[in-house]
Structure 1
Amino acid sequence: MRAALALAALLAAGAASAQEIASAPGGVVRALDKVSGETVDIDIGRGQAMQIWRLTIQIDECRYRTADPSAEAWAHLTIRDSLLPNPVFFGWMIASSPGLSAMDHARYDVWVLHCSTDSASGR
């Protein structure tokens, strides 16, 4: 809920300052296994799901400011753990504030790095 409110405020601020927001064809997330210390960057196309360890990560939407695509990203993610019946995360993550709406998992962390602005993402 906090992330949705923060996203709405950021989008409103962007609209107020005449900055356009675009939807990207995908995004890049970083996954961390807190036990082994291994990190993996994953390029995922919008609507596609990728599996890493026990997690299946899907990017439902990724948005960015057209004036500066590398400055900020907002991604709506669905993350599932193969050992659990319900998603471990479903909602918006903000790249510059990963702790605002973080996935609560004992072993893994996942956060958004940026949107992919080319159509080749998610290969």
Structure 2
Amino acid sequence: MHGSLRNNRYIFFFVISRYFFYIYLVGGIVILSTVGCVQAERVSNEIGIFSGLDKITGRVTSFEVYIGQVYQYGALQIIPRVCYTSSENEPARTTGFVEVNEMTLERKIRRIFTGWMFADSPGLNAVEHPIYDVWLKDCKKSSHTLTSQ
């Protein structure tokens, strides 16, 4: 009888410890799933602000382009599709999805870049061209003095 009481205690502790293990496991999963879902809020903007470098003249030009509009910079056509900034209570982060076409000497349009540009890392996904470099600087909501070509 004394041995069976000891076995019952072990079974009891085993069941209780298993019960607490499942509680901790489910709690951990819930906590991790809520932490993983927290994302910085991004703000969609109407205008992308870019800089372009003409490697022949060494001249740097800044220009603003409405989302979905085409801006001609030398032989390049810059078309921003989206431009996001982080919300005011988050660290500054500016990203944009951009398409860049080149007008060839035969007057044909050739896509040379499609992708995300990051203002805080301009060299990461900047457009590299033999004559021109183009990179995203910032985004903004609207402008009354928008430069267009």
Q: With structure 1 as the length reference, what TM-score do the two structures score?
A: 0.76
**Correspondence for 1:112:** 136
Asked whether the 8 Å contact 2:45–2:140 carries over to 1, the reply is yes
CA RMSD of aligned residues (A): 2.3
45-54 vs 111-120, greater mean Cα deviation: 111-120
Distance apart, 1:68 and its partner CA: 5.8
Q: With structure 2 as the length reference, what TM-score do the two structures score?
A: 0.64
**Correspondence for 1:87:** 111
**Correspondence for 1:56:** 77
Find 1:77's aligned residue among 94, 98, 106. 98
Distance apart, 1:85 and its partner CA: 4.1
Residue 110 to residue 116, structure 1, CA distance change in 2 (3 Å): same
Q: How many residues align?
A: 108
- Match of 1:86, SS state, is strand
Superposition misfits of 4+ residues, deviation over 4 angstroms: 119-123
Higher relative contact order (CA 8 A, sep 6+): 1
Residue 66 to residue 32, structure 1, CA distance change in 2 (3 Å): same
Residue identity opposite 1:102 in structure 2: A
**Structure 2 unmatched runs, 5+:** 1-36
Find 1:29's aligned residue among 50, 62, 69. 50
**Structure 1 unmatched runs, 5+:** 1-14
Asked whether the 8 Å contact 1:70–1:114 carries over to 2, the reply is no
Identity across matched positions, percent: 29
Q: Distance in 1 between matches of 2:136 and 2:113?
A: 13
Tell which structure's C-alpha radius of gyration is larger: 2
Residue 119 to residue 33, structure 1, CA distance change in 2 (3 Å): closer
Asked whether the 8 Å contact 1:19–1:67 carries over to 2, the reply is no
Asked whether the 8 Å contact 2:72–2:78 carries over to 1, the reply is yes
